[in-house]
Structure 1
Amino acid sequence: MRLLVVSDSHGLTAELMELKEIYQNQVDAMIHCGDSELQASHPEIEGFLTVRGNCDFERRFPLDIRQTIGDNTIFITHGHHYNVKMTLLNLSYKAKEIEADFVFFGHSHVLGVEIIDGTIFLNPGSILLPRGRKEKTYALVEKEGQEVFVTFFDDQHKEIKELKQRFTM
């Protein structure tokens, strides 16, 4: 399984189109964790599994998505309804409730990945307004057997090598 995860693009279009051009035939799913500030009919966001963030007015985007990809249960949310700027506890309860293998979220603009009770929680950061680091980022998640590799890239598509993570599920 291979997934592209992006969040908090806040109106960017050329960058999303570029990501689509690079990854749409290279991944099993393209995921946008909200605050695209685009309409669902925008060609730049078409093809992404997209949730509604606190800055989105498009009601066709759901608040949460639960999706099965291969043998994996994926949960996508923006995070503002789960208070992710303060804690991952609420989101971890939701992950347990739906037996999620992966949880993808945004909202804080702070990139990070960790495993909690066997579930991988990933915030890809922001490709417009990063916090905590200077790089504008997105993530690529690859699962091979029981191993998961998470790689962060900057907006120039260069790997941020010191952030690469490997997990065993």
Structure 2
Amino acid sequence: MTKILIVSDSHGSTELLDELKRRHGADVDVMIHCGDSELSDDSDSINGFTAVKGNCDFYGDFPEEAELEAGGYKILVVHGHMHSVKTSLLSLTYRAEEAGANIVCFGHSHLLGAEMIDSTLYINPGSIRLPRGRRERTYVILDLQEGRAALHVYDADRGEMKNLKQEFTVPVPKRP
């Protein structure tokens, strides 16, 4: 099993990122930040995260996107502002297809959500600092195991929101 912590839109809060690392760092294999950390890329708080540049990231030298492999899956990480995710996921689905991604992590809208489009899982962990559409300051832990993806949603203040747990079938890519 591979566990991935996914967070976005922390907007300058080193305390929240440090707390996530204390709370989950020993239990997860990968930590992803989907942009708008508003931190420098040499900040101790963002250290250990695969992080991308958001529209409010003026201080760090973060990449526009990142690709990584975890649990046999190819993961694409973007902030979302370059793909107009507030209006549609169409542009992002084209990019995911180009990248050959099985899982896409993004932020920007501050809205928690997850959905399958074709055989690709799209995850927006919401905002851990400035949520929209709900009061909870959310982030996600994704458990990957042999074609199954269990999405656990957490509130930064109250812990896991068990009523929002979702499971998806994400086909394991065939290796050449």
TM over 0.5: yes
Determine the structure 2 residue equivalent to 1:95.
96
Give the CA deviation at 1:156.
Answer: 2.0
Take 1:77 and 1:25, find their aligned partners in 2: how far apart are those partners? Answer: 25
Residues 50-89 of structure 1 show CA distances to partners (whole Å, capped at 9, x for unaligned) of 0000000135200100111231100000000000000000
Give every structure 1 segment of 4 or more consecutive aligned residues whose post-TM-superposition deviation is greater than 6 Å. Answer: none
- Tell me the equivalent position of 2:67: 66
Per the normalisation by structure 1, the TM-score is: 0.97
Secondary structure of the structure 2 residue equivalent to 1:52: coil
Which amino acid counterpart does residue 165 of structure 2 have in structure 1?
K
8 Å Cα contact 1:33-1:50 kept in structure 2: yes
Partner AA of 1:74 in structure 2: I
Structure 2, gaps ≥5 residues long:
171-176
Aligned equivalent of 2:142:
141
The equivalent of 1:5 in structure 2 is 6
User: 5+ residue gaps in structure 1?
Assistant: none
8 Å Cα contact 1:8-1:33 kept in structure 2 = yes
Q: Secondary structure of 1:5's partner?
A: strand
Equivalent residue of 1:126, what SS? coil
TM-score, normalised on structure 2? Answer: 0.93
Task: Give 1:157 shift.
Answer: 4.8
2:15 maps to what in 1? 14
- Residues in 2 aligned to 1:79 and 1:163: alpha-carbon distance in whole angstroms: 23
Alignment check: 8 A CA contact 2:71 2:144 kept: no
Post-superposition offset of 1:162: 2.0
Percentage of matched positions with identical amino acids: 48
| Aligned residue identity for 1:4 | L
Q: 1:110, 1:123 within 8 Å by CA — same for their partners in 2?
A: yes
Q: Which amino acid aligns with 1:81?
A: M
